[in-house]
């Protein structure tokens, strides 16, 4: 009885030591991870060339997408659709059409949660699940991530970075989801963006945020037509990034 008690105490003592070591290593890894600098989200490409990327975040609004695709074809514009996994799962044939018509398909998470309220692991599950669904439908992996609600906290940024993703935000926001965003107001926000913090937004190399809404569909031909007259070309994000630092840029 006495021997068994001594052995049990010894085992507990050794177990305690290993637990302390494990806890210390885990804590050290967390500290080291926190010190690793995160790449900043891409909000604009630095260039003096008249190029621009229209991005369309999709978690609803599929009824407007066929007409949006027609408007893009007419304006000879290619865009990047950031779709949620749950949306892609429900609309695989439409996703194929979007990709087959020359548009880039990228990752918007699975269920459109608030990334800042999730852990790194939970955010990674959102991204990986969507990646798998999209690849299964169109045969291509995603490599850009647009966080829902434009949130850019550490957990979402780190999740994307550790998976090899670049986080994408925007330069110009149509704010088309608001009920008071008429087609004219949506177009104005892109064609003649308001001064913010004393600075006039530069449209060269800009990323534009849109959603599949009725008023966005009405504003889209106006935006494309006017910017085309100004000499702009509309590219996917992959295409726009190739212009990074081209021309007389500022750093």
| DSSP collapsed to 3 states, the chain | CHHHHHHHHHHHHHHHHHHHHHHHHHHHHHHHHHHCCCCCCECECCCCCCEEEEEEEECCCHHHHHHHHHHHHHCCCCCEEEECHHHHHHCHHHHHHHHHCCCEEEECCCCCCCHHHCCHHHHHHHHHHHHHHHHHHHCCCCCEECCHHHCCCHHHHHHHHHCCCEEECCCEECCCCCCCCCHHHHHHHHHCCCCECCECCCCCCEEEEECCCHHHHHHHHHHHHHHHHCCCEECCHHHHHCCCCCCCCCC
User: What does R_g of the chain's alpha carbons equal in angstroms?
Assistant: 23
What does pTM read for this prediction? 0.84
Residue ranges of the chain with per-residue pLDDT less than 70: 1-35, 245-251
Q: Are strands 166-167 and 172-173 parallel, antiparallel or unpaired?
A: unpaired
CATH of domain 51-241: 3.20.20.370
Specify the pLDDT at position 141.
Answer: 98
Q: What are 48-82's pLDDT values in tens digits?
A: 999 999 999 999 999 999 999 999 999 999 999 99
Specify the pLDDT at position 26.
Answer: 42
Specify the pLDDT at position 198.
Answer: 84
Angle of helix 65-74 relative to helix 92-100, nearest 10 degrees, comes to: 0
């Amino acid at each position: 009885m006495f021997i068994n008690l001594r052995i049990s105490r010894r085992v507990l003592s050794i177990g305690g030591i290993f637990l302390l070591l494990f806890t210390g290593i885990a804590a050290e890894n967390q500290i080291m991870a926190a010190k690793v600098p995160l790449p900043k989200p891409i909000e604009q490409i630095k260039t003096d060339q008249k190029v621009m990327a229209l991005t369309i975040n999709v978690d609803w609004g599929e009824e407007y997408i066929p007409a949006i695709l027609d408007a893009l074809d007419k304006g000879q514009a290619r865009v990047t659709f950031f779709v949620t996994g749950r949306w892609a799962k429900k609309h695989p044939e439409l996703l194929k059409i979007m990709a087959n018509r020359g548009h880039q398909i990228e990752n918007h998470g699975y269920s459109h949660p608030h990334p800042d309220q999730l852990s790194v692991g939970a955010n990674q599950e959102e991204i990986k699940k969507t990646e798998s669904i999209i690849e299964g439908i169109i045969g291509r992996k995603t490599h850009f991530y647009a966080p829902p609600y434009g949130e850019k906290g550490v957990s979402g940024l780190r999740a994307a970075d550790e998976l090899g993703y670049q986080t994408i935000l925007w330069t110009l926001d149509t704010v088309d989801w608001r009920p008071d965003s008429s087609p004219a107001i949506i177009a104005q926000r892109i064609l003649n963006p308001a001064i913010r913090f004393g600075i006039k937004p530069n449209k060269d190399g800009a990323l534009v945020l849109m959603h599949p809404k009725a008023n966005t569909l009405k504003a889209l031909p106006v935006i494309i037509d006017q910017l085309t007259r100004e000499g702009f070309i509309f590219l996917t994000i992959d295409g726009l990034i190739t212009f990074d630092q081209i021309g007389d840029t500022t750093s």
